[in-house]
Structure 1
C-alpha cells in the first residue's frame, strides 16, 4: 500500500477553492459596505435560509449552542423543569438545558441509527418533563413521527437539534420542520459552515420567533426598548455573507456526500471488517459524518494514521458518563447501547470533495491484514 497519501478528515480549503470567486466577492462587498453587525447580509441570509428550511421564521445568532439555549428559554422552560436529551450527542444539547436551570434527562439511542430511541422516551417522562431535544446525529434524522406522537400525547415542546443535519429529511419532509422549533449550527466543519462560529433558530411560531429574537439581542424590541434581559448573540455580517454564498451549493454538496457514502458502502462491504452506517427506509441521511462500527478501534485508528488518513471519534464518552454529569450516578446498564458505542465507533473522512481515489485508498488500508 502506498503510504505517501494524505487524506484530511475534512478539507475546507478544497471547498473554498471550488467557489473562491463567490466567497471573495461576498467578503469584499461586506467590508465595502461596513455591514459587520446586522444589516443586509444578516437579513438576507435569514430570509434565504428560511426559504431553504421551508419555515417562515429564521433568527440568526452567535452559535449553535446559543440557539438551543435561547429557544428553550423563549419557550418558557426553566428552573425545576426536565428536558429529554439523547445519551450520545455533542454536549451542547445537554449543557444548554442546564444553562437555563433545567435538568437534562438522558435516553438511550437506537443501535443502528445513533439517534434517540422513541421506544424509551415515555419511561423517562415525569410531571416535570417539558421538552424533548431529538438530535439528528451525524446527518441521520431521528424518528420524528414517533417522537411527535409522544410529544402531542404529553404536551411537550420539541426542539430539533439540526446542527449536523442541514437538508436531511424523512419521506421528503425536512428535518427541523417536525417540531416546534429547530436549532442550527454553522460551525466551519458543518455541511453548511461559516468561517467562524454562527448559528440560527427556525420555527413556524411567530410568538416564539419574536421572543427568541429579543433574547438574542439584549431583550430589545426595537433600539433601546428593552422588554426583558437578554444576551448578546448575533450573527456577524461577514459570516452571514459567507453563508449566503455557500447556501446555493448546499444541495449539490449534500448529493456529493451521499454519493461518497455509497462508494464507501460498496467498497467496505466487500472487505467485511467494519459496519457501515445504516439508513432507515424513507430517511435522507446527509452524512455530516461517516461513522463506522469497528472492533479493535485503536489498532485501526493507528493503522489509518500511519497511512496519512485522519480519523476522529464522535463521541468517545456518552453524555451520562461525562465527569460533569457524574452527580446523576448513571451506570453502563442505564444506557447499554450508548455505552457500547463508546468503544466501537470511528469517524473516517467525509466531505463533498472526497475523491474516488481517496475512498479506495482508505478502504484499502482498512482491508489490510
Structure 2
C-alpha cells in the first residue's frame, strides 16, 4: 500500500512539473509575441517620420515643424547611381503615396505613385524638355551630377491639408544662387509644378507665418515666399509692414551659438551687443532704456517646463496679466516699476537645456519692442 502511495505521489509531482513547464512555455510565447508587437509598432510609428541620417545643418530645406518626411541624397558615388524613396500619405486618404528619386540606365527620374489611382506621375525626367529650365542646370545631360546634393521634402506649405512635394538641389561650386527648390502642388487630382525658389545655402519653412524663409548673405537678411492661388509668390512689402512694422526701421543680424546649437535674429539698429558669452548674448538700446538677454540654463535639477514656469511666477511675486504654458515653452509678460518685462523660455529636449529670451523696456517703448519680440522669438531655431 505504501508503494502504491509513493508511486501516486511521484506521478502527481511529475504532472505538476510538466504543467509548470507548459506554463513557462506559454509565458515565453506571450512575451515574445508582445516584444514582436512592440517592435512592429515602433516600425509603424517611425515609417512616416524623417527618412535621413543627417543633422539639421546639412539639410537643404528645413522646417520649424520638428518633424517631416524627406530624403537627402549626396551624389558622391563613383558610379554616380543613387536612389531614394519616400512613402507618405500626401492627401490624408489613408493610403501612402510613393515618391522616387534617382538615376538608372536611362538617366534621372523623379516621380510619384498613387496606389488608389494605380498611376505613376513623372515630375522630372532625363528628357530635359519636360523639366523646369533651371532644374536642368543640376543635371549633366539627364544624369545626376556627382558634386550636387539633392533633397526631396514633403510639407503642407499652405495649410490646405495636402502636402506639397519639394525638390531641392545644391551645387557647392556655384558661389551665386547655389540652391534652388522646385515645388509641385496637388491641383485637380494631379501634382502640377508651380514654381521655384532660389537661395544660397539653405531655406526653411516657418509654420507660424506659413512662409518659406530664404537667408541671404551673412548680415541677417532674408527673402520670404509663400503659396498664393497655387503659385509661389514673394511675400509682399505691404504685408510685411502691416505685420511687422519694425522691418522698415530696424536692421537685423543673425546670432549663431555653436556650443548649444541654436540661432536667432537680433536688431542691430538702435541696439548694440554689450556681452557675448558661450551660452548667449546681451543687447542694450542706444539710450540704455531697453535690454534683451538670451542665454542657456542647464537642466541640472531635472526640472520640467511646468516647474520652471511655476518657479518663475513665484519669483516674480506680483500679478501677471499675460501668461501661457505650452508643451515645451512658456511666456510671461507683466509690468513692474513702470517697465514691461517679457520672458519666453523654451525647453530643448535634445540638449536638456532651457533657452531663455528676456526683454526689459519702458511702457512707452511698447510699439517699438512688440515687433522686435515677435521677430526674435519666431526666428529662434534649435
- TM-score bracket for this pair, using the shorter chain length: under 0.3
**Larger of the two Rg values belongs to structure:** 2
The TM-score with structure 2 as length reference comes to 0.26
TM-score, normalised relative to structure 1: 0.27
Considering Cα pairs closer than 8 Å and 6+ residues apart, tell me whether 1 or 2 has the greater RCO. Answer: 1
